[in-house]
Amino acid sequence: MQKSRVVTIQRHIVEQERLYPRATGDFTGLLWDLTLAAKSISREVNKAGLAEILGLTGEVNVHGDDVKKLDVYANERICKAMDHGGHLCIMASEENEDVIRIPDEFPKGKYVLLFDPLDGSSNIDANVSIGTIFSIYRRKTTGKEATIEDCLRKGTEQVAAGYIIYGSSTMMVYTTGQGVHGFTLDPSIGEFLLSHENIKIPQKGKIYSINEGNANAWDDGTKKYVAYLKEKDTTTERPYSLRYIGSLVADFHRNLLYGGIFLYPADYKDPKKPKAKLRLLYEANPLAFIVEQAGGMASTGKERIMDIQAAELHQKVPLIIGSKEDVLTYEKFFNQK
């Protein structure tokens, strides 16, 4: 068997950056800081069940440390890992209502980081996979301080995006617009090693992922589409299989590798005020960038996710994402009058 070369994430980021002759190394430093935060979060996630033994959340544990809820820990860990490197000018997190400024004592950089520190955290106690999602932009404003305008962007302006999945192993998947690459954490050496180079999502899948408990609140197009997926037709490989973990990163990651479609449509209980759940800046845009780089699609049903100009930090959007043919078929159903 031919031995493949071992590529650490650090080496991969440096090699990618060399493709840009004018790169300063700033971006490499930023991604490197993020991988450090990811390793710490991974370690804490792996210890999740032990909190009961070592001390309850909100209490002081046997070592005299405060035991923090994991999502709070992840949020603080990322902020602390990222605020002093001189790469960022501002951050925003799903856990914070307002933007996060870089403390005065630290140098400011040209990048903006938006993140969901621990998505799917309601699953932690059941040992189900959860994830961290991130999105990086270049600063847009030119004043002394970066502002919220630097965070309210279109997904097409992202320079990088990725996620870390804390599953049976910990993986980091990212894109800088040069394809999608996946790295698996080798805990024995504490390094992310390239395990999935240039991931491509199948053009069509056989899996759909949606919370069917919400079926009563769906629009007619979504109802008809899901009914269509359940019909038998061998030429289009129906019926599809339903797989729903309820943890976006895990559902997305599986569909990225196997093909398929994830749907979180709006709730139409009040047809005049459809309500979406997932967030444009912290969840939809980064995964949309990844899926497009892998050859797939991300849509609200009506428009491309990455074309939406964000108006609010915590703006929510319907998210239909996955294999291209599947998302295109959904759009046909959704837009049928």
Residues that bind ligand AHM (CB under 6 A): 94, 116, 119-121, 211, 246-248
Residue 247 CB, shortest distance to ligand AHM, in Å, is: 5
Instruction: Say how far apart CA 23 and CA 159 lie, in whole Å.
Output: 13
> Phi and psi for 98 in degrees, rounded to 5?
-110, 175
Residue 252 CB, shortest distance to ligand AHM, in Å, is: 8
211 binds, among Mg ion, ligand AHM, none (CB under 5 to 8 A by kind): ligand AHM
Paired residues of 164 in beta bridges: 132, 172
Which sequence positions are flagged as catalytic? 65, 71, 94-95, 116, 118-119, 283
76 CB-near residues (< 8 Å, 6+ apart): 68
> Phi and psi for 99 in degrees, rounded to 5?
-65, 160
116 forms part of the interface with Mg ion (CB under 5 A): yes
SS3 assignment, position 7: coil
Applying CB under 5 A, the span of 18-26, 79-87, 108-116, 137-145 interacting with Mg ion comes to 108-116
User: Measured at the alpha carbon of residue 197, what is the angle toward residues 248 and 136, in degrees to the nearest 5?
Assistant: 55
| Nearer Cβ to ligand AHM (120/265) | 120
Q: Calculate the CA 265 to chain-centre distance.
A: 18
Instruction: Say how far apart CA 36 and CA 169 lie, in whole Å.
Output: 16
Q: Give the other-Cβ count within 10 Å of 18's Cβ.
A: 10
Residue 120 CB, shortest distance to ligand AHM, in Å, is: 4
121 binds, among Mg ion, ligand AHM, none (CB under 5 to 8 A by kind): ligand AHM
71 forms part of the interface with Mg ion (CB under 5 A): no
Residue 248 CB, shortest distance to ligand AHM, in Å, is: 3
| Nearer Cβ to ligand AHM (116/331) | 116
How many H-runs (helices) and E-runs (strands) does the chain carry? 8, 15
Residue 126 CB, shortest distance to ligand AHM, in Å, is: 13
324 CB-near residues (< 8 Å, 6+ apart): 201, 203, 204, 295, 296, 297
Residue 21 CB, shortest distance to ligand AHM, in Å, is: 39
CB of 172 within 8 A of CB of 12?
A: no
331 forms part of the interface with Mg ion (CB under 5 A): no
> Phi and psi for 15 in degrees, rounded to 5?
-65, -35
24 binds, among Mg ion, ligand AHM, none (CB under 5 to 8 A by kind): none
* Contacts (CB under 5 A) with Mg ion, residues 165-204: none
| Nearer Cβ to Mg ion (116/219) | 116
306 CB-near residues (< 8 Å, 6+ apart): 154, 155, 156, 158, 285, 288, 289, 292, 298
| Nearer Cβ to Mg ion (81/118) | 118
263 binds, among Mg ion, ligand AHM, none (CB under 5 to 8 A by kind): none
Q: Minimal CA–CA distance to 93: which of 104, 78, 103?
A: 78
| Nearer Cβ to ligand AHM (85/301) | 301
119 forms part of the interface with Mg ion (CB under 5 A): yes
| Nearer Cβ to ligand AHM (120/202) | 120
Chain positions contacting Mg ion, by CB under 5 A:
116, 119
